[in-house]
Amino acid sequence: MKTLEVYNLQKKYQQGKKSIEALSGLSLTINAGEVLAFLGPNGAGKTTSIKMIAGLIRPDAGWVRIAGCNPHSNPQALRMLGAVLEGSRNLYWRLTPQENLEYFGVLRGIGRTVARKQALKLLDQFGLMHKRSTPVKALSRGMQQKLAIAVALVHKPSLLLLDEPTLGLDVEACQNVKALVRQVASEGCAILLTTHQLDVAEEISDRVAIIQKGKIIAEESTEEIIRRFSGSTYTIKFEGSLDPIQITKIEALGAIIEAEKIIYTGTKPGLYKVLGILEPLPLSHVKQDQSDLTQIFLKLVREYNHD
């Protein structure tokens, strides 16, 4: 089921006499329970897209549907949307976490009683119960960010927009946020997240969309894009020792033998030939050398800039 559908979004800004194209025909979809990492260099149009999806910026052309509703004309669409926006506190700093959750619950259209129950549940789920009566301004940055995500979820939205959710967080807080994002997605919420931390995107996203100059230049599953860009070199580790016949056969296939390790560059059928020769030695490790999302991202963006 498609939770978010975005079609052909276009936006131009006027800066003095210059017209700047922020988005030129952006389209994407996200299914329930899916995490889409929305990647792009600074100024590529990520935040504009997120705010357009949230109904905070009006597109020149194109449309947005959240579970079939248009957030620009139907306020009910906002009941299905939660957002943590970058560069904003998103919270009332004089209020405590519990007060923030209860207030935003009502502001998002759920009743006071439901908001109170949800607040307690989220405080527990996000590990903030012990800080529920501390004013937000006295919380650490990591806790504030966790709370901002909890607040965005208080009305049980079907779509969560996270603009740079791990920005400025220490390692532990970052791990916490990543785990929470996966947990929220596993409960059926569709998540669109932007981040410059590509290791975070690689770890938690199901799909990636790379945006450059207002256009999506690549969109596919995280696993698939990494596989597609990964090399054809395999590392095979085994236990025991090779006999001279095995060594000859393996070297004849072009593989390099090191102590308890073989490095093979070639096709998959070739790989299976190597594995066949190794039989019956126990294998401890077979791994394709992989590109990471950072390399793929840089390659795609540079290629696009050269075109």
Partner 1 sequence: MIELFQAEIKRIWIEFIRYPVDTISGILANTFVFYGLFLSAKYIGGPNLQVGERLDAIVIGYVLWTLVVFTLEGIAFGLQVEAQTGTLEQVFLSPFGTLRVLMIRGIANLTLNVVLICGVLIFTMLLTKRYLHFPVSIILPLVTVLLGAYGLSLMMAALTLLYKRIQQLLGLVQFALFFLLTFPSEIWNRSLQNLRVILPMTVGSDVLRDLVARNQSLDLSSFLLALMNGMGYFIVGVLVFRWAERQAKRQAILNGY
Binding site for partner 1 (CB under 8 A): 11, 13, 48, 51, 54-58, 75-76, 78-79, 81, 83, 85, 87-95, 99, 102-104, 106-109, 111-112, 135, 151
SS3 53: helix
Residue with tokens 């967080």: 169
| Comparison of 13 and 272: residue with beta carbon closer to partner 1 | 13
What one-letter code names the amino acid at 233? Answer: T
> Tokens standing for 255?
């593989």
The 3-state secondary structure of 91-144, one letter per residue: CCCCCCHHHHHHHHHHHCCCCHHHHHHHHHHHHHHCCCHHHCCCCHHHCCHHHH
237 bridge partner residues: 261, 285
Minimum distance from residue 68 beta carbon to partner 1 (Å): 15
Minimum distance from residue 146 beta carbon to partner 1 (Å): 16
Minimum distance from residue 158 beta carbon to partner 1 (Å): 14
| Comparison of 190 and 226: residue with beta carbon closer to partner 1 | 190
| Comparison of 100 and 166: residue with beta carbon closer to partner 1 | 100
| Comparison of 98 and 195: residue with beta carbon closer to partner 1 | 98
Residue from 162, 153, 190 nearest 50 by CA: 162
Q: Based on the number of CB atoms within 10 Å of its own CB, is 237 exposed (0-12), middle (13-18) or buried (19 or more)?
A: middle
Q: Do 217 and 45 meet the contact criterion of CB atoms below 8 Å apart?
A: no
How far apart (Å, rounded) are the C-alpha atoms in residues 166 and 170? 9
| Comparison of 56 and 129: residue with beta carbon closer to partner 1 | 56
Minimum distance from residue 10 beta carbon to partner 1 (Å): 13
| Comparison of 148 and 250: residue with beta carbon closer to partner 1 | 148
| Comparison of 150 and 255: residue with beta carbon closer to partner 1 | 150
Minimum distance from residue 94 beta carbon to partner 1 (Å): 4
Minimum distance from residue 174 beta carbon to partner 1 (Å): 21
Helix ranges, the chain (H): 46-53, 97-107, 112-125, 141-153, 171-186, 198-204, 222-229, 244-252, 268-278, 293-306
Minimum distance from residue 21 beta carbon to partner 1 (Å): 13
